[in-house]
Amino acid sequence: MPQRTDDMLMTAYVQGDERALRVLVERWERPVFAFLVRMLGSHEEAQDICQDTFLKLVETAPRYRAEGKFRSWLFRIAGNGARNRLRRRKVLRWLTLDSGHAEHPHPAADALTDLARREDAARVRAALSRLPDRQRQALVLRLDHDL
């Protein structure tokens, strides 16, 4: 049986197929969570907003229109939740660029190269933390999720 598209799954869910919702959550929970960790800098807050994102999906499912990409719609919900959280706490934090995705350096890696890479990453994080929320969200969506 061919894999059902996100739009097909949303239609099935609205028509009462609870399994369709499970498939959507299984398909999109990790990418949404990773995006939220990058936006919020906190796994705990990312979990909260990720849950809120899928609750919002359930609440708005009857009004969903397959006019654009499902993933863009879902990430917009997640991004709005993240921006609201950032506004509430009024503190912008950014984890390392490779948080959760880091490869373990080879033991023989050159220490100076590693130091330069960490300094570059720190400069990039500092620059990203100065971006407005919407620009940071757009950059993360583009670089991490090809949106």
The pLDDT assigned to 111 comes to 57
The pLDDT assigned to 56 comes to 96
The CA–CA distances, whole Å, from 71 to 22, 59, 119, 125 equal 16, 17, 33, 26
Tokens of residue 64, six digits: 């969903």
In the predicted structure, residue 128 carries a pLDDT above the cut 80? no
Tokens of residue 48, six digits: 């909260």
The structural domains of the chain, with segments of one domain joined by +, span 6-145
**pLDDT tens per residue across span 8-38:** 999 999 999 999 999 999 999 999 999 999 9
What is the CATH T-level fold of the domain 6-145, as seen in this structure?
Answer: Rna Polymerase Sigma Factor; Chain: A (1.10.1740)
**pLDDT tens per residue across span 69-124:** 899 999 999 999 998 888 777 544 344 444 444 455 444 445 556 666 677 677 77
In this prediction the pTM is 0.62
Q: Are 141 and 38 in contact (CB under 8 A)?
A: no
**pLDDT tens per residue across span 52-68:** 999 999 999 999 888 87
Residue at 54: amino acid letter: F
The CA distance from 49 to 30, in Å, is 13
The pLDDT assigned to 96 comes to 40
The pLDDT assigned to 58 comes to 95
The pLDDT assigned to 115 comes to 62
Q: Which has more confidence, 5 or 86? A: 5
Instruction: Output DSSP code: residue 68.
Output: S
For residue 91, give the 3-state DSSP assignment: coil
